[in-house]
Amino acid sequence: MNTFDLIVIGAGPAGYVTAIRASQLGLEVALVEEKEIGGVCLNVGCIPSKSLLKNAELVHLLRNESETFGISFEKLNLDFSAAVKRSRRVSERLTRGVEYLLRKHEITILPGRGELVSGDTVRVTGENGVQDIQADDIVIATGARPLILPGVEVDGSRILTYREAILQETLPESVIIIGAGAIGMEFATIWSSYGADVTIVEMLDRVLPQEDPEVSAALEKAVNQAGIKTSLGSRVSDIQVVKDQVEVHVESAEGTGQFAAEQALLAASFVPNTESLGLDQVGVEVSSGGFIEIDQAMQTSRGGIWAVGDVTGKLMLAHVGMAMGVVCAEQIAGEQPRALDYRMMPRATFSRPQVASFGFTQEEAEKAGYEVRVGKFTFRANGKALGMNHEEGWVKIIAEKQYGEILGAHLIGPEVTELLPELTLAQRMELTPQELIQNVHAHPTLGEVVHEASLAVFGDPLHM
């Protein structure tokens, strides 16, 4: 039996980062992966979708803003398949890069499905047969998959998950997106930019329901103005394929209703990939939803078995999974890693306009007993934003009143996902809005809105 210091099951962002960091710390590592190095994120998620969103940005500009920039043309030809092919090239380049990094760190890659047969043994079943491998520590990083509604069959033609949606080279003429979270809003942005008729159905009462309510309202207004229809407070009761279209039946406070389109995208929720892992037989506890229970060090209920990333259900974002992987690897190697504060982790949605946030909303902070100050500044008063013709949105900072502790920030507008790190770093290093004010921001930049929002915490913005 081959033995290692550490076995990682799953090669998505959480898993491969765990493996690399552990190797850097001197551990001999085996990485077991059933499908794709890089996981969902690199292959059919965050990376190819951002490539498509860049195409969508250009298409939107040419279709809707060209005259503003003094650009005219007789005919605009849009090749959606070319955009998808470009996204595949981007994805393949990054996955090859990850494979190179794993080889560079001398990590043993074992293709196949991993199953726990004891607290220190993993059975790998793949094309080359079955083999058992052993290690003192095992990390589970098997991720999650879309929730499929009971009785609904994903056929890849009429009913899709993100996987089929990201790979199809034909633009749907019409689509119903079930779920107004980040995935739903990003696909809505892509497809509507190219001219598809998009309807978003959301069970809760607002888009991006985990975000600041004011941000949700602003984004809903923006997407409605862009021609994307929203049906909020609508629970899907049934999905049926009828001839050449999909019918989505919903129930709401107003009664029952029905939407029809060429395709339907399931983007409402996720379930963990924990089946057939052998968790029961080795004593690993899971939640009622099937997610693996862990402590701050990523340790499960069974000593020597750890879990990171989406399979834990903590915060299902690739960068959070990577951070968890680093903490886990360092803990296993005997280091003293920092604890992660999941509330303060950055969140990003690459819709149009973009949304970024972390920490408490004002309402959440006040419910938690904080007395707060709120500073808000709009992009309408920012020269760079006006020059970009992207003046919608704002930066909002929530700060504790007495000592100035930054409790959260909520941003909507142009490239706000790139503005967030200054604020999360400030919170991490216990800086206050007063210290952000003292940081000189280059002019003209979008980052000046962070400076002005910091001033607004004290009621003193310079340009409003």
| Domains of the chain by start residue, with CATH | 2-146+271-342 (3.50.50.60), 159-268 (3.50.50.60), 353-456 (3.30.390.30)
Query: The sheet that has 263-266: what strands, in order across it?
Result: 159-160, 263-266, 174-178, 197-202, 229-232
pLDDT band at 185 (very low <50, low <70, confident <90, very high): very high
In tens, the pLDDT along 310-366 reads: 999 999 999 999 999 999 999 999 999 999 999 999 999 999 999 999 999 999 999
pLDDT band at 1 (very low <50, low <70, confident <90, very high): confident
Query: The sheet that has 372-378: what strands, in order across it?
Result: 347-349, 354-359, 406-413, 394-400, 372-378
Question: Under a CB-based contact definition with an 8 Å cutoff, are residues 181 and 232 in contact?
Answer: no
Using a 10 angstrom Cβ sphere, with 0-12 exposed, 13-18 middle and 19 or more buried, the burial of residue 423 is buried
In tens, the pLDDT along 238-283 reads: 999 998 999 999 999 999 999 999 999 999 999 999 999 999 999 9
In tens, the pLDDT along 14-39 reads: 999 999 999 999 999 999 999 999 99
For 330-345, the DSSP string reads HHHTT--PPPP-GGGS
Q: How far apart are CA 55 and CA 58, in angstroms?
A: 5
Average pLDDT for 55-63? 97
For 132-164, the DSSP string reads EEEEEEEEE---EEEPPPTT----SSSEE-HHH
pLDDT band at 127 (very low <50, low <70, confident <90, very high): confident
295 three-class SS: coil
Paired residues of 238 in beta bridges: 249
Q: How far apart are CA 351 and CA 372, in angstroms?
A: 29
pLDDT at 325: 98
Question: Under a CB-based contact definition with an 8 Å cutoff, are residues 228 and 234 in contact?
Answer: no
Q: What is the pTM of this model?
A: 0.96
In tens, the pLDDT along 95-123 reads: 999 999 999 999 999 999 999 999 999 99
| Phi, psi dihedrals of residue 437, rounded to the nearest 5° | -60, -40
pLDDT at 262: 98
Residue among 343, 338, 433, 449 at smallest CA distance from 390: 449
Residue by residue, what is the 3-state secondary structure of 44-57? HCHHHHHHHHHHHH
> Which secondary structure element, helix H or strand E, spans residue 369, and what is its range?
none
Point out the catalytic residue in the list 60, 390, 443, 463. 443
Number of separate helices (H) and strands (E) present in the chain: 14, 22
With 90 as the cut, is the pLDDT of residue 299 above it? Answer: yes
Q: How far apart are CA 7 and CA 190, in angstroms?
A: 38
> Which secondary structure element, helix H or strand E, spans residue 125, and what is its range?
strand 121-126
Average pLDDT for 275-303? 95
Average predicted confidence (pLDDT) for the chain: 97
Catalytic annotation present for 443: yes
380 three-class SS: helix
pLDDT at 146: 95
Distance of CA 373 to the CA centre of its chain: 29
For 183-244, the DSSP string reads HHHHHHHHHHHTT-EEEEEESSSSSSTTS-HHHHHHHHHHHHHTT-EEEES-EEEEEEEETT
In tens, the pLDDT along 376-431 reads: 999 999 999 999 999 999 999 999 999 999 999 999 999 999 999 999 999 999 99
Report residue 243 as tokens.
């001839």
pLDDT at 154: 96
With 90 as the cut, is the pLDDT of residue 128 above it? Answer: no
Q: How far apart are CA 368 and CA 31, in angstroms?
A: 42
